[in-house]
Structure 1
Amino acid sequence: MKFWKLLTAASALAVITASAPAFAQTDEKLPEFTTEGFEDWLVAFKKEAAAKGISEPTLEIAFADTKPIPKVIEYDRSQPEFKLTFEQYLQRVVPQSRVNEGRAKYAENRAVIDAAAKKYGVPGQYLTAFWGIETGFGRHTGGYSVVDSLATLAFEGRRAEYFRKELMNALTIIDAGHIAAEDMTGSWAGAMGQAQFMPSTFLNYARDGNDDGKIDLWGAKEDVFASAANYLSTVGWNADERWGREITLPKDFDKELEGRDIRKPISEWQKVGVRMPNGGDLPKADMDASIIIVNDGEGPAYMVYNNFHTIMHWNRSTYFAIAVGTLADAIAGY
């Protein structure tokens, strides 16, 4: 997922940067947001969209009441200064209540989830974990008009090219009949539905899981799980591996060996003294692994595999990836 996805209602608990849940204050002085010129901008954009093949009825309906949303710009520019320890973050994102609900939701939706898991090779506990962390198992998908939010961000201009493309993608989705314009709601940044896909991600990875001829990430769980599983499978999920595990490091562990870019066979980590939390040997598996140490290198430490890196394609936060794996393991009873 794109960076903007990190700030959806569900993800904004603390998933902020690529390596730690802290959001640094910017010193950049931004001009005050003004809506002056929006109508002219919208007229020009609609002409461009029509030239690119978006139908006139879609443009009329999608932009019937479009106005810039100052609150969206406020969210986009806000830089709250807060930092959670890894333990605080994990407690917020994977409390026991979410584990319990995750198990119940998986059981309740097992046929749908397992169908997607079988087709795309992504185990159901992971699909359930993503669903729970992203949108509270579908409850919190965002209440902003995706068209109005993207139009606001494209007009504001700081990342005009990116949001202009996403707005065009959103219109393409509407034009294809997947969702009515008035029903296309999401986060303030345009992440949509129970998978919180940006429009570009929708067009590239969303799938029609119930074979009804359209893709509904808001209400059709078959589509939600098929789309999430297809995304993860496409970007590299390995069905034969887990995501990672907590480990203990020897006191003399060389911190230069820490990080996602350093990948060694598990047997090599065993040789340098890496062990299971109970002091036992590492599993004897022919897999490459990296060592991740959270809390700015203070620990705990994790040995992570290919699927951890795949999770980080979805959201570029180390803490988020560990949370998904932790919740998935708990749902599965590991």
Structure 2
Amino acid sequence: MAARYRRFPRAVIAGLAGLAAVMGAGVGDARSAGPDFAAWLTDLRAEAAGKGISENTLDAALKGVEPIERVVELDRRQPEFTRTFWTYLERRVTPERVERGRDLLSKHRDLLARVQAEFGVQPRYLVAFWGLETNFGDYLGDFPVVGSLATLAYDERRSDFFRAQLLDALRIVDEGHIEADRMKGSWAGAMGHMQFIPSTFVNNAVDATGDGQKDIWNSLPDAFASAANYLSNVGWKGDEIWGREVRLPQGFDWSLAGLEVRKPIAEWAAMDVRRANGNPLPKADMEGSIVVPQGHAGPAFLVYDNFRAILRWNRSISYAIAVGHLADRIVGLPPLQNGRDVSNEPLSRDQTKEMQRLLNTLGFDAGKPDGLPGPQTRAAIRRFQDSLGRPSDGYPSPALLESLRKRAQSG
């Protein structure tokens, strides 16, 4: 979902932190201190009209709109366990998806070549985004976008964000790109083959067919061109890859792992960072960062600027690797080669909160225990690992939690 609100969110959705206190609440509960929905909608309509949205569009789009309880349920849902990188990757880069991606790359080769010529995005990456977002168009979402966004905008927790998305959705309808009753998408308002949220559509959607509509729902030329335009706008480099799996040397300085550290490929090569098969890194005038999504015992990647562009689409490290790896597999590159025997046991949210509390108790400031292992928690983990003389990869694992328990018990 380009520029999605998810997950961090979308991709999201990533911004679900701090919702436990309102789990199970309905829209009315979440908005108990504000106006009722009818009054809120009247105000929204006036704002939209003030922005130039026609009365005909507002009549068609807002007639009968009511809060959708299922949207509220999905918005408040929190997974019990934190998904590991390997679990995430194996569910998304499957042999079936790879094979189908190859078939579709061949089928749409001419179209994708035209898109590449205009926007500079290699075809395999567009097919990979397509596969991960909607399984190549199999499921675009069946929630009414206007109703979903109205529900989320009425909820005060993220009202400003979703109100802006709703106003953009109304503009899309008003400009004639799709009729309101046909504007379907995810529960969070992501739409079309590439799951654009409305603001991403407004800023990046393309009418590639010249029919006057930017139809990301039914036109693959429009969908591919829109995705490529978005990636181009966030800095995609058409002559570079996303990254590659690498093999790190014994004694690697784990403080160098992370997106905040960028070095030329030549410097990584001088540290004896190698390709996954043991061969030297290529000689190229590019900078990259080392990421280890499942800790020092899992696979390692050297990622480049295009990886950061993928993160603008969806801020999940695992998602960005999945896009790049699926694109690689579609053009015949091999599966990942290293780190498969690492423990794949996940942490539950309660275990993550316990880990954060223990880190705080032991003097390693992990911030407020929220069950989400964000940057502050990972920095605290690194400091704790350093104190034990272990690889400071910042990775939260059941083994790490057990070490914290033992340290706390020993005083």
Asked if Structure 1 and Structure 2 have the same fold, meaning a TM-score greater than 0.5 normalized by the shorter chain, the answer is yes
What do the CA deviations read for 1:19-62 (whole angstroms, capped 9, x no partner)? xxxx8775434683244811111112112211221100000000
What is the deviation of 1:17? 5.0
Verify the 8 A CA contact 1:58 1:171 in the aligned structure 2: yes
Q: Contact 2:149–2:165 at 8 Å: present in 1 too?
A: yes
Give the counterpart letter for 2:114 in structure 1.
Answer: A
> Equivalent residue for 1:218?
217
AA paired with 1:33? G
Contact conserved, 1:5 with 1:198, CA < 8 A, in 2? no
C-alpha contact 2:257 2:290 (8 A) present in aligned 1: yes
TM alignment of 1:8-157, pairs within 5 A? 17=14, 26-29=19-22, 32-35=25-28, 37-157=36-156
RMSD between aligned alpha carbons?
Answer: 2.0
Matched residues in 2 for 1:164 and 1:86: separation?
33
Is the CA contact 1:5–1:191 (under 8 Å) kept in the aligned structure 2? no
Aligned partner letter, 1:46: R
Partner of 2:5: 4
- CA distance 1:124–1:301, change in 2 (3 Å): same
Offset at residue 7 of structure 1 (A): 9.6
Task: Supply the AA of the counterpart residue of 1:58.
Answer: T
Superposition map of 1:226-245 within 5 A: 226-245=225-244
- Decide whether the 8 Å contact of 2:27 with 2:72 is kept in 1: no
Superposed CA deviations along residues 263-306 of structure 1, whole A, max 9, x for unmatched, are 11111011112111222211111111111111134321001111
Contact in 2 for aligned 1:24/1:81 (Cα 8 Å): no
The answer to whether the 8 A contact 2:249-2:272 is kept is: yes
User: Are the structure 2 counterparts of residues 178 and 5 from structure 1 closer, same or farther at C-alpha, using a change threshold of 3 Å?
Assistant: farther
Rounded to whole Å, the distance in 2 between the matches of 1:231 and 1:67 is 32
**Aligned equivalent of 1:249:** 248
Preserved CA contact (<8 Å) 2:22 2:76: no
> How far, CA to CA, are the matches of 1:112 and 1:323 in structure 2?
24
Partner of 1:294: 293
Distance across 1 between alignment mates of 2:139 and 2:27: 30
State whether residues 69 and 152 of structure 1, in contact with CA within 8 Å, keep that contact through their aligned partners in structure 2: yes
Report if the CA contact (8 A) 2:145-2:183 is conserved: yes
> Aligned partners of 2:283, 2:46: CA distance in 1, in Å?
61
> Separation in 2 of the partners of 1:315 and 1:87?
18
Amino acid at match of 2:236: W
Aligned partner letter, 1:134: E
Q: 8 Å contact 1:134–1:196 — kept in the other structure?
A: yes
Q: How big is the shift at 1:231?
A: 0.4
Provide the C-alpha distance between the structure 1 equivalents of 2:300 and 2:185, rounded to a whole number of angstroms: 35
1:55–1:175 CA contact under 8 A, matched in 2: yes
Residues 46, 234 of structure 1: alpha-carbon distance in 2 compared, 3 angstrom cutoff: same
**Closer/same/farther in 2, CA of residues 6 and 118 from structure 1, 3 Å limit:** farther
- State the alpha-carbon separation in 1 of the partners of residues 215 and 149 from structure 2: 19
Provide the rounded CA distance (Å) in 2 between the counterparts of 1:26 and 1:65: 29
Question: Number of aligned pairs?
Answer: 326
Structure 1 residues 24 and 58: CA distance shift in structure 2, 3 A:
closer
Residue-by-residue CA offset, 1:242-279 (whole Å, 9 max, x unaligned): 11110111120000001112111111011112111222
Secondary structure of residue in 2 paired with 1:159: helix
Percent of pairs with identical residues: 49
Q: Distance in 1 between matches of 2:235 and 2:320?
A: 15
1:223 shift after superposition: 0.4
C-alpha distance in 1, partners of 2:5/2:24? 21
- Give the drift of 1:85: 2.5
* C-alpha distance in structure 2 between counterparts of 1:47 and 1:158, whole Å: 22
**Aligned position for 2:165:** 166
Distance 1:2 1:241, change over 3 A: closer
CA distance in 2, matches of 1:295, 1:92: 16
Query: In structure 2, what is the equivalent of residue 272 of structure 1?
Result: 271
Q: Residue by residue, what CA displacement relative to the aligned partner does 1:130-158 show, whole Å, maximum 9, x if unpaired?
A: 00000000111110000000001111111
- CA drift of 1:188 comes to 0.4
- Secondary structure of the residue aligned to 2:67 is coil
CA 1:200–1:34 in 2, change beyond 3 Å: closer, same or farther? closer
| Shift, 1:185, TM fit | 0.5
Any stretches of 5+ residues in structure 2 without a counterpart?
334-411
Within 2, Cα distance between the matches of 1:181 and 1:270? 54
Q: Deviations over 1:156-190 (max 9, x none)?
A: 11111111111110000000000000010100000
Describe the SS at the equivalent of 2:288.
strand
Structure 2: distance between partners of 1:333 and 1:314 = 25
* Equivalent position of 1:191 in the other structure: 190
Give the conservation status (yes or no) of the 8 Å contact 1:291–1:304: yes
Specify the alignment match of 1:282 in structure 2. Answer: 281
* Corresponding position of 1:310: 309
Change in CA separation of 1:118 and 1:252 when aligned onto 2, cut-off 3 Å: same
Q: Which runs of 5+ in 1 are unaligned?
A: none
Greater mean deviation of Cα atoms: 31-40 or 204-213: 31-40
SS in 1 for 2:48: helix
What amino acid maps onto 2:292 in structure 1? I
The one-letter code matched in structure 1 to 2:48 is: A
Q: Who is 1:333 aligned against? A: 332
